[in-house]
Amino acid sequence: MNNMKYIAGAVFLRGSTAYKNEMPVSKVRLSSYWIDIYPVTNSRYQRFIDVKGYEKPEYWTEKGWLFVQQLPEKFPLYWNNPRWNQPEQPVTGVSWWEAMAFAQFEGKQLPTEAQWEYAAGQGVDLYPWGSDAPTDELANFAPGCEPADLHRCSTWVDQHPRAVSRSGCHDMAGNLNEWCLDNSTPDYSWDFLGVNPVRLESEILPHIVRGGSGLHDEDCLRCTSRDYYSPEMRDNIVGIRCVVNED
């Protein structure tokens, strides 16, 4: 798979004791999968625009298709903003449905949050790069949730080469959150089996995002940190990373 990393099937400790929504810490077994080395960039998303993906229902879920029909524009919200639309910046201003449609276009899907968490830290590392405290050299983030530049923008997806995870993935902390397949849950008490877990009850309910963004503080950069947004949210704090599951 070009520009993807192979993740061999593994068992890891998911979650942490830092917050209730990251508990209980428990063993999770994942089957093998591939995951994007970098978040989806604007140049990569351009291919979806070029094939008129916003006009082709085959890429969209039924509810996603209804959503996209109501959009005043047929491209991401920040697509024409020069602070966010440079070729190697991660695409942003995309709803969960747009992320799903793009993944379908590439023959992929969004990661489950367990897949995302394992690729970020393998149940070992506090941050994707290890245990060192975040710095500007390692991530685009906002200490105290107060960005230094109020006219902030995202950084290039390869701008923090020291921050690569032990799985070989880049830009998994800060810059942009990344949509996951799962609906949000208050904790992991629903998962009795711990085998390829995914919680997807309804498309219209909020979905998990992972990784933190340029508006988030150090705590949100942890591999186990969880957040969530409604599927229609199209703000400049969320992007896309895709996976391919092995049969």
For 74-132, the pLDDT digits (tens) are 999 999 999 999 999 999 999 999 999 999 999 999 999 999 999 999 999 999 999 99
Alpha carbon distances (Å) from 99 to 108, 156, 179 = 11, 19, 7
The share of the chain scoring above pLDDT 90, in percent, equals 94
Q: Is pTM beyond 0.85 here?
A: yes
H helices of 73-137, in order, are 96-105, 113-121
CA distance 123 to 110: 20
CATH number at residue 99: 3.90.1580.10
E strands, 120-242, in order: 177-183, 207-210, 227-229, 238-239
Range of the domain at 163: 4-245
What mean pLDDT is predicted for residues 1-20?
Answer: 96
Express each pLDDT in 26-47 by its tens digit. 999 999 999 999 999 999 999 9
Q: Which residues contact 46 (CB under 8 A, 6 or more apart)?
A: 87
Cis geometry, peptide bond prior to residue 24 (ω within 30 degrees of 0)? yes
Q: What share of the chain is helix, strand, coil (3-state, %, to 5)?
A: 20, 15, 60
Give backbone dihedrals phi and psi of 88, rounded to 5 degrees, phi first: -100, 15
What mean pLDDT is predicted for residues 217-240?
Answer: 97
Express each pLDDT in 117-145 by its tens digit. 999 999 999 999 999 999 999 999 998 87
| Average pLDDT score over the chain | 96
CA distance 152 to 159: 15
CA 96 to chain centre: 10
pLDDT of 149 above 80: no
Number of domains in the chain: 1
Q: Which residues contact 174 (CB under 8 A, 6 or more apart)?
A: 134, 139, 140, 141, 160, 211, 212, 213, 214, 216, 221
